[in-house]
């Protein structure tokens, strides 16, 4: 990975926070794979292709009122991967209940596009998974 790859991931988060989902999704490759590990979010599983990944993220965001956002706490270039750790918060669209959490991400970027993203419930799990690939 390179700083340019880290920048692709950061730009995708910036676009997401601005609710510019078209721009956010433009950073994903057509054959992107999203792997949501148990405990990271309620809907665990694997989703393949930009349309399926966009649908998963769309379903997630529709459960929250406007204003749901991410704050990036840490990024690291891990050679073949980009590690990102973020907190997120907002309010339920129907309930109005405030929700918050923290999620760790491993991104694979190829030719300027995100081709794989993995969501983990914590920093330790993501870093262990990254170390196991070396």
Average pLDDT of the chain? 93
Query: Which one has a higher pLDDT value, 134 or 81?
Result: 81
- 16 and 24 Cβ atoms separated by less than 8 Å: yes
Mean pLDDT confidence for 88-104: 92
Q: CA 49, CA 61: separation in Å to the nearest integer?
A: 18
Distant-in-sequence, close-in-space partners of 100: CB < 8 Å, separation ≥ 6: 87, 88, 89, 90
Amino acid 43: pLDDT = 77
Share of the chain above pLDDT 90, in %: 75
Q: In which band, very low, low, confident or very high, does the pLDDT at 1 lie, cut at 50, 70 and 90?
A: low
Token readout for 43 is 């809907």
Mean pLDDT confidence for 82-93: 94
Tens digit of each residue's pLDDT (9 = 90 or more) over 35-74: 999 877 767 899 999 999 999 888 888 888 888 899 999 9
Is the predicted pLDDT of residue 15 greater than 70, yes or no? yes
Per the structure, the complete domain to which residue 125 belongs is given by: 3-132
Is the predicted pLDDT of residue 121 greater than 90, yes or no? yes
- 106 and 120 Cβ atoms separated by less than 8 Å: yes
Q: CA 92, CA 18: separation in Å to the nearest integer?
A: 18
What's the CATH number where 122 sits?
A: 3.10.450.50
Q: How many domains does the chain have?
A: 1
Amino acid 61: pLDDT = 84
Token readout for 124 is 């330790």
Amino acid 133: pLDDT = 87
Amino acid 39: pLDDT = 79
What is the separation of C-alpha 20 from the centre of its chain, rounded to a whole number of angstroms? 15
Mean pLDDT confidence for 95-119: 95
Distant-in-sequence, close-in-space partners of 89: CB < 8 Å, separation ≥ 6: 68, 69, 71, 98, 99, 100, 101
Radius of gyration of the chain (CA): 14
């Amino acid at each position: 990975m390179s700083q340019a790859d880290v920048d692709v991931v950061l730009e995708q988060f910036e676009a997401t926070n601005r609710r510019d989902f078209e721009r956010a999704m433009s950073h994903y490759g057509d054959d992107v794979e999203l792997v949501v590990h148990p405990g990271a979010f309620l809907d665990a599983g694997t989703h393949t292709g930009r349309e399926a990944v966009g649908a998963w993220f769309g379903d997630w965001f529709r459960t929250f009122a406007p204003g749901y956002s991410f704050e990036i706490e840490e990024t690291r270039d891990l050679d073949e991967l980009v590690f990102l750790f973020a907190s997120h918060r907002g309010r339920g669209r129907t309930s109005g209940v405030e929700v918050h959490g923290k999620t760790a991400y491993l991104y694979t970027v190829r030719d300027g596009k995100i081709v794989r993203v993995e969501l983990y419930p914590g920093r330790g799990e993501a870093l262990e998974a990254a170390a196991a690939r070396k």
